[in-house]
Structure 1
Amino acid sequence: MSTTTSHTPEPEGPPEGPSRPARLIQNEATTEIPVHLLFRDDPDPAPVPVRPAVVSRRRGTGEQPRLRRPAPVKARPVPEVDPDLAERPARVLPGAAGVLAGAGGLAGCVAASWWAGVLPPAVLEALRLPAAVAGAGLGPAQWAAYTGAGALGLAGFGGLGRGATGRAWVLGLFGRYRGTVRRTGLLWVNPMLLRRRVDVRLRHWRSEPMPAADGKGVALRVVVLVVWRVRDTARAVLGVEDHETYLRECVEAALARVPVETPGASKGAVDVAADALTRMVVADAAPVGLEVFSVQPVRVEYAPEVAAAMHRRRIAALDAEQRASMLTSVVDSVEDTVTRLTMRGLVELDDYERKVLVRDLTVAFCSGRESTP
């Protein structure tokens, strides 16, 4: 008795239970994306931040990595000078105090000389002083008196100064800012302080021809007039090495960023460019204590390397404009002439005769316009 074993073939296809699909690429690593968050049934769902999936691919798969878009570069603001550096009034005394101190020191020197007995008889008679004690001489006490009186006189007369209108002094002691003097008249300032004179009047500066460009990138040479003044003397003197050079460089930087209208542009376009230049220079010069009122282009011309070509181009444009204007005038004159002749019944013209008359009138008017200087 033989037993036949029947082999039932397994069904082809995926199994009934849930299973994870096989990877198509063995070296691929992926991150699941929560797609169900994009298809919610809420009428007004709250925004859910979903981070984009980042797919990393290993070497040897032939896949190119995804490139991220670079972030836009923002313009950096002008750096602020030391915030603690600001103008403040300095401590000064009236000039009379210095004069009195200097006179006191001078009188002390004379008294020490009389005490030591070194004054000549003529000076004693002029000052009506009695004779000194005999044999006093120049001892330690007399030299101490000389030193004190001399120091007082030097401090008194050495600290005198004259403050003028529109001028200021920036005072410093051993590299430290000690204040600003804007007072006028005779003043006494500590002679140990370093004085730096600053012009605080309203000033104007006419620049030399500076490089610039118009809206199409054509090279220009621009001369600007800048009206400005020093508002904060401490920042203008101590914040930068030279505030006048800094202002000049600010104007050059603004001309490099703002397109300037070409020669012969309208007044409105020139005013727009001047306003833009003024705003930029004001923003750049304010941190160093400079107050700019206006930056006005006073002369605009083409750069030497493009001047000849732009001059020919401008002449050609003017010639074309003049020809177009003349042609428009001739056509209007011919039309008016033919219309008047026809409307008044002076001539009766068919199409051929009308064309001939228009041609002859056009040639005649054009010849007359060209011969007119």
Structure 2
Amino acid sequence: MAPDQPGVRHARLIHSESTTEIPVHLLFRDDSDPVAVPLTPTVVARRLGTDEPPRASRPAPQGRRVPAVEPESAERPARVLPGAAGVLAGLGGTAACAAVSWWAGGLPPDTVSALGLPASAGAGLGFVQWAAYAGAGTLALFGFGGLARGRTGRAWVLGRFGRYRGTVRRTGLMWVNPLVVRRRVDVRLRHWRSEPIPAVDANGVPLRVVVLVTWRVRDTARAVLGTEDHERYLRECVESALARVLPQVSGDLPPAKDGVTLRHVEAVADTLTRLVAQEAAPVGLEVFSMQPTRIEYAPEIADWIQRRRIAALDARHRDTLLSSVVDSVEDTVTRLTTRGLVELDDYERKALVKDLTVAFCTRRSADGV
């Protein structure tokens, strides 16, 4: 070992089970002698001052992420005026146009006299008259062009320059700014019956499922602006839910682990409704129920499944018939021997049982039991 040289420090280390390797000179170093410390992660085997292991941080749950919707795209009422305001504005603009025409001398004398107006000044069409025409015409166009009729179960989503301006759910005659873009939305309770959707059960058997979905548009802004086509989005949610739920349920015997098969329609429908409602809520759709109306096997295996069911029923019938015949034979032999009507040894007993079994089976088969 080389002798110690003056001015040279040796990196002595502290070794312990409850700590990592810590250089001693780091504990008592002064600021005048900086030491470079590598920024590498170290693993602490024990908590400081105790013998307990460090607490492991729990990872964040990795659930299905629901698409976020901006708060400003949530539905809010739009500013509209009663229809009487639009009618009055349109009539006022029309009357103003007629007045400017009379002022410029554009009305025929017979019309002026019929209306009881004084003779026009005949000022002609100058800049002032054209400006008055423009103002009056604009007022008439805005008044009559903004008139709209709201219907029950219908709503309008208004937008201007690509920005959401509100939703109109009022009914009757109203006035809406004619410069906004109107998109009509059906907010009534609606039923959608799907076409046969391909799926598989827990045993991998291909199925064809027809579902009936009851839904409506709850938030018009998110339904129209949050997705390109909310009806298509709902159909895709339905297909996704079927692809996630049906592979966990057996279509026929044997049942799944929880004992639920596709014959338990209520349990399957509740699960499907919950999944579809959760997926459709972020885009403003409210799903009330998703009920399978028809579940059938795919055409390529329907015949095989039918033959399998017939064979199972036939085997069950034969088992029932055999059990009934055995019980009848046993009861007959027991009565004959216990009442002392006959004395039978083992050979005679076997022969009697054989003859009775053949007779009972023949009679049951002839009767179709």
Name the TM tier (shorter chain).
0.7 to 0.9
Which residue of 2 is the match for residue 97 of structure 1? 85
Which residue of 2 is the match for residue 7 of structure 1? none
Amino acid at match of 1:47: E
3-state SS of paired residue (2:264): helix
Aligned partners of 1:192 and 1:94: how far apart in 2?
Answer: 17
Residue 48 of structure 1, CA deviation: 2.3
1:89–1:338: structure 2 CA closer, same or farther, 3 Å change rule?
Answer: same
Deviations 1:19-47 (A, max 9, x none): xxxxxxxxxxxxxx97689xxxxxxx652
1:358–1:172: structure 2 CA closer, same or farther, 3 Å change rule?
Answer: same
Pairing of 1:59-78 with structure 2 (within 5 A): 74-78=62-66
Aligned partners of 1:306 and 1:198: how far apart in 2?
Answer: 43
Pairing of 1:276-295 with structure 2 (within 5 A): 276-295=271-290
Amino acid at match of 2:66: V
Aligned counterpart for 1:83 among listed residues 71, 77, 95: 71
Displaced runs of 4 or more, over 4 A: 33-37, 263-268
3-state SS of paired residue (2:71): coil
Residue 257 of structure 1, CA deviation: 0.7
Unmatched 5+ residue regions in structure 1? 1-32, 38-44, 52-70
Which residue of 1 is the match for residue 162 of structure 2? 175
Aligned counterpart for 1:262 among listed residues 251, 254, 257: 251
3-state SS of paired residue (1:364): helix
Unmatched 5+ residue regions in structure 2? 1-14, 20-49, 254-259
Amino acid at match of 1:202: L
Which residue of 1 is the match for residue 310 of structure 2? 315
Which residue of 2 is the match for residue 129 of structure 1? 117
Aligned partners of 1:144 and 1:72: how far apart in 2?
Answer: 68
Q: Is the 8 A contact 1:263 1:300 kept in 2?
A: no
Residue 98 of structure 1, CA deviation: 0.6
Aligned counterpart for 1:139 among listed residues 110, 115, 126: 126
Residue 297 of structure 1, CA deviation: 0.6
Residue 353 of structure 1, CA deviation: 2.5
Which residue of 2 is the match for residue 49 of structure 1? 54
Aligned partners of 2:291 and 2:183: how far apart in 1?
Answer: 31
Deviations 1:149-178 (A, max 9, x none): 111111111111111111111111111001
Pairing of 1:271-350 with structure 2 (within 5 A): 271-350=266-345
Aligned counterpart for 2:152 among listed residues 165, 180, 189: 165
Deviations 1:270-329 (A, max 9, x none): 222111111111111111111111111110011122222222222222222222222222
Q: Is the 8 A contact 2:251 2:263 kept in 1?
A: no
Q: Is the 8 A contact 1:168 1:199 kept in 2?
A: yes
Q: Is the 8 A contact 2:325 2:360 kept in 1?
A: yes
1:269–1:35: structure 2 CA closer, same or farther, 3 Å change rule?
Answer: farther
> Does residue 231 in structure 1 map to residue 218 in structure 2?
yes
3-state SS of paired residue (1:316): helix
Which residue of 1 is the match for residue 29 of structure 2? none
Deviations 1:83-129 (A, max 9, x none): 33211111111111111111111111111111112223443344332
Q: Is the 8 A contact 1:261 1:269 kept in 2?
A: no
Which residue of 2 is the match for residue 117 of structure 1? 105
1:346–1:186: structure 2 CA closer, same or farther, 3 Å change rule?
Answer: farther
Which residue of 1 is the match for residue 202 of structure 2? 215
Aligned partners of 1:326 and 1:358: how far apart in 2?
Answer: 16
Which residue of 2 is the match for residue 148 of structure 1? 135
Amino acid at match of 2:85: A
Which residue of 2 is the match for residue 11 of structure 1? none
Amino acid at match of 1:81: V
Q: 141-150 or 301-310, which moves further after superposition?
A: 301-310
3-state SS of paired residue (1:118): coil
3-state SS of paired residue (1:258): helix
Q: Is the 8 A contact 1:164 1:185 kept in 2?
A: yes
1:34–1:302: structure 2 CA closer, same or farther, 3 Å change rule?
Answer: farther
Amino acid at match of 1:48: P
Aligned partners of 2:68 and 2:367: how far apart in 1?
Answer: 66
Residue 237 of structure 1, CA deviation: 0.5
1:167–1:231: structure 2 CA closer, same or farther, 3 Å change rule?
Answer: same
Amino acid at match of 1:149: A
Aligned partners of 1:347 and 1:183: how far apart in 2?
Answer: 96
3-state SS of paired residue (2:198): strand
Aligned partners of 1:122 and 1:340: how far apart in 2?
Answer: 127
3-state SS of paired residue (1:277): helix
Aligned partners of 1:279 and 1:50: how far apart in 2?
Answer: 36
Aligned counterpart for 1:198 among listed residues 174, 179, 185: 185
Residue 236 of structure 1, CA deviation: 0.5
1:202–1:46: structure 2 CA closer, same or farther, 3 Å change rule?
Answer: farther
Task: Count the aligned residue pairs.
Answer: 315
Which residue of 1 is the match for residue 175 of structure 2? 188
1:100–1:367: structure 2 CA closer, same or farther, 3 Å change rule?
Answer: same
Q: 95-104 or 333-342, which moves further after superposition?
A: 333-342
Q: Is the 8 A contact 1:262 1:301 kept in 2?
A: no
